[in-house]
Chain A
Amino acid sequence: MNKPEAGGLFAKGQRIPLRGVRIEVHAAGIAARVTVAQRYQNNEKAPVEAVYSFPLEESSAVCGFEAEIGGKKITGRIEEREAAFERYDRAMAEGQGAFLLDQDRPNIFTASVGNLLPGQEAVIRISYVTELQQSGDAIRLLIPTTISPRYVPPEQLKKMDPAELDHIAPPTVLGGVPYGLELAVDLEAPADVREVSCPSHPARVAISGRKVKVSLMGQDIQLDQDFVLNVALARPHEALAVVARDGSAGRAVMINLFPDLSGFQRGPGEFLFIIDRSGSMGGPSIQQARAALLLALRSLEEGDRFNIVGFGSTFEPMFKEGVPYTQQSLEEAARKVEGMEADLGGTELLQPLKFATEAPHAAELPRQVVLLTDGQVGNEEQCIELVSAHARHCRIFTFGVGHGVSEHLLRSLARATGGQAEFIHPNERIEPIVMRQFRRMASANLRNVRLDWGGLKTDLLAPSELPPLFDGDRLTLYARVPGGATTEVAVLADSPKGALRFPVTVDCEHPVDDAAIPVLMARKAIQELEEGRGMVRGSAQQNRKEKAVRARILELALRYQLMSSATSFVAIEERPAGAQAQPAELRRIPIALTKGWGGVPAEGLAAGLTGSAMGGPQVAKMMVCASPAMPAPAVRGRRRREAADEFMMEAAFTPPPASAAPAEGTTWPRRILNSILGGGKGAVPAGEDLHESLFPGNALLELTSLQRADGSFELTEALAKAAKRKLADLEQAAKALGMDNTLARNVLATLLALEVLEKEFSGRRDEWQMIADKAKRWLAKQKVVVPAGAKDLHEWARRTLA
């Protein structure tokens, strides 16, 4: 915990009673137990009520709430949401110590710490269990620390409950908050650990066999971005079933399968890319989204159709309707994508989603939607409802881009449509992530996917419908069984190559005592219900159905003592007569603006603000978070000024430091030239070769970005440079193929690219395998005669290019 700073801790002239947050993660196998401890201290002369809204992982099963005050520990109890609030409110009126935890969104929670007496300190501990995200041999831990400002559409803003709005859009400050974060991870992986990376924070990492210990370096770490930890295992997971006791005789079963679906070739598809160009995407987010989109475009195949939609307050499809994927359409799209900026205002996500789900499309092609966004919207429910209604013909794959993405929105959109979500932290390489997503999109067209319980009877299934199977991704299912014997459970499917079966043994005779399993099972069932799926049947009348769903959520949450949309945690410290507090003053805890949000340089701003007149560390002006229009700072300066947020204004117009200018002799990226020349799209002709790289410093991306739509490569100076060869030598070598000169050059260039991939990037095969497969398919179509003396073309190329 951070030591209190002398003098400071003010917001809007009021003290901030939150002194620090400590997060501890204990992970074993595929589940993690996390404790979030918040320390509050009242340094004022009157009692205060601290209200702090904060994020947790969206699938967290929040199962513990404890307050420690005056040496006493008070355990919170789950109650129906309104009943819990009434108890809290009554205790507040009576001057008792009162503590309440509300779920405002599946990933946004609010803690109210009531009647903290002058000088008093309280520590709130929130515990939750969560599944570790996993794909192939990689485990990913993502812990959000701040709530990004979000765009709430005006019509939604009018209808929203004011208290709810205050919770999902808490006061946000520029330049950091005066309470800090400590974080420690203790992880025991199911296999030896090969590599650990923490792209979000400087961290101390210790690896010993399967064990990993991680802690943040430095003190007073700002709570302004997600904590991300990637753990690579020496071997992928294996199928595993865990059976835990649930109640006196019941069993909660967790099944984990890792289906091997490699080796399938996808058929043509229709791809719709939706890229968020709202103001909040300014800075690193839009840069990464652009790079990911360019890479994704290169991963399409001839026969596919595609379109690109940029959106903000409005949305603009690039083409009237989906166009065939050709060299010409690829070049046109890439050129336009390079010019995309975060300049379209608010985040009206619903409209492009309507376009994506409702626009007519080629009926014979399955529609795949790829959404790149930070997801900062307040109408998540509407968006999820819309896509759920079209889930049968439209799968959504999402990329969360930025330091503080709305994990809930991105995962739930994907979950509702049978897609998958990926997250790209600004310090991460995009290639493995984009390719992983494209491998999913290319996954086999499986039919009749079903679960064979091998005779086991189940009285609860979570999720109630089988999620999609993706190659290498973990498939996790939960069930409650009344008892039973040892049996084999299997997922079955029909594929183009025949019947598939993925089995696992479930031992119900020897259950373990692991409280996490029943809790995760219940949370999964609640999540389904909260997102409008699940098993509630009966009345078709909307009102009655909603009541039935809420009743089922309440039943599960009370039974398993879990936070949900229908329940809250409440804890009361009964104070003796005479020790009750006078009416408390509200202290709303401000949160830090997400790092890099909208391109605002937070660090520079903080440095500029700290020596200001008041002496102590001042908190910058409050920002309106739920604003109908959330413009990019750089382009809508006037609106900012009207909002009296001049700190932001100054930041937006501060010229870049001298070090930002390229060194003499290097080339400016085209879009920077365009902005300097002031001509926007036309200032530098798009076709003019500036020998610039779209991915400077990234040799693999530089090489793969040269691939043409048909899979071939052209013999150009850029390719020769990427392969570290002389163009003249390569041109000479191409003549040995004894065929039409242009074709020979392309064949040689393609062979060269494959050779470079194999030699230089063998450790990153996952990132280029799809590119290489596409190149090989093109080569096979050319029917090239293997030069005399060579076994095959590749062997000839290796020898010739050695």
Chain B
Amino acid sequence: MSGATIEPGFALPGQTFAISRFDLVRYAGASGDFNPIHWNERVATSVGLPDVISHGMFTMAEAVRVVTDWVGDPAAVIEYGVRFTRPVVVPDPDGARLDVSAAVRAVRDDGLVEIDLTATVGGETVLAKARAVVRLPDGFSGGGSAA
């Protein structure tokens, strides 16, 4: 069973993730997604983008850390889905800052917890319908950080 404080509206600790060109190059290598719009400004602008953009999957992976860092065991994430609504532009050298917040949407009868994520860059939403379904470990209390 989940801790008593985990109920709809419970806010997880938010985080901000810095995204640099270096991060995108490293993610390209680790993931095998070498689409040049994620590292080559000339190619990105030639297809109508303002600049190099983040891999959507990199943004998605960073955002769910608000959940995995909170729970501790990443295996708690049973389902995770997002819609990519706006490209995350990553200029050199400044990069981008991804702000992620999360709150419990529902606690199901089977104990699984639905968490809605909000991911923004410069105040603009970059992921929509971002939701994780989480099986909380036994005895997990939520870290006592209810907002």
- To the question of whether A and B form a pair in one complex, the answer is no
